[in-house]
């Protein structure tokens, strides 16, 4: 369930950013109902994002501190996996900053480990 919540959080953040980019355009819209619907939807999306952010979803995960930081950067802050890896303590510990191939390899390794750790498999 936490993996699904994190995906919802990331999608909610993207949707709020997309709507914020349309704010100027919608402010000049002549159709009052369309403008009202836009601002109501923006408010709803921001509330949804706030609700998801108020839950500390990653707290219950079994990730190391570096992986936790990387996951927070990706899911909460909306960074790419590579940006999240480069800003995490894992980058300083395990990579040469000039070797792109090594950075990509380590990024993918940590990404797979984080995603697999967050997914919960149920036996029926």
What are 50-83's pLDDT values in tens digits?
A: 998 888 878 777 788 888 899 989 988 889 999 9
123 part of a folded domain: no
What is the domain range of residue 6?
2-55
Encoded tokens for 116: 């697999």
Number of independent structural domains in the chain: 2
Quote the CA–CA distance of 89 and 73 in Å, as a whole number. Answer: 12
Quote the CA–CA distance of 74 and 83 in Å, as a whole number. Answer: 8
What are 93-104's pLDDT values in tens digits?
A: 887 778 888 888
| pTM recorded for the entire structure | 0.79
Q: What is the pLDDT of residue 122?
A: 45
Q: Would you say residue 121 has pLDDT above 80?
A: no
Residues 68 and 104 in one domain: yes
Q: What is the pLDDT of residue 32?
A: 87
State how far the alpha carbon of 30 is from the alpha carbons of 27, 45, 99, in Å: 8, 23, 53
In contact, 110 and 70? CB cutoff 8 Å? yes
In contact, 90 and 63? CB cutoff 8 Å? no
124 part of a folded domain: no
What are 17-55's pLDDT values in tens digits?
A: 999 999 888 888 888 898 899 999 999 999 999 998 888
Of 28, 55, 82, the one marking the end of a domain is: 55
């Amino acid at each position: 369930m936490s993996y699904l919540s994190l995906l919802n959080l990331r999608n909610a953040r993207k949707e709020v950013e997309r709507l914020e980019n349309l704010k100027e355009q919608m402010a000049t819209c002549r159709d009052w109902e369309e403008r009202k619907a836009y601002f109501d939807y923006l408010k709803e999306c921001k509330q949804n994002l706030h609700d998801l952010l108020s839950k500390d979803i990653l707290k219950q995960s079994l990730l190391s501190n570096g992986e936790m930081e990387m996951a927070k950067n990706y899911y909460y802050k909306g960074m790419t996996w590579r940006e999240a890896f480069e800003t995490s303590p894992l980058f300083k510990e395990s990579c040469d900053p000039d070797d792109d191939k090594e950075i990509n390899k380590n990024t993918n390794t940590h990404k797979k480990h984080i995603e697999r750790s967050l997914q919960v498999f149920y036996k029926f």
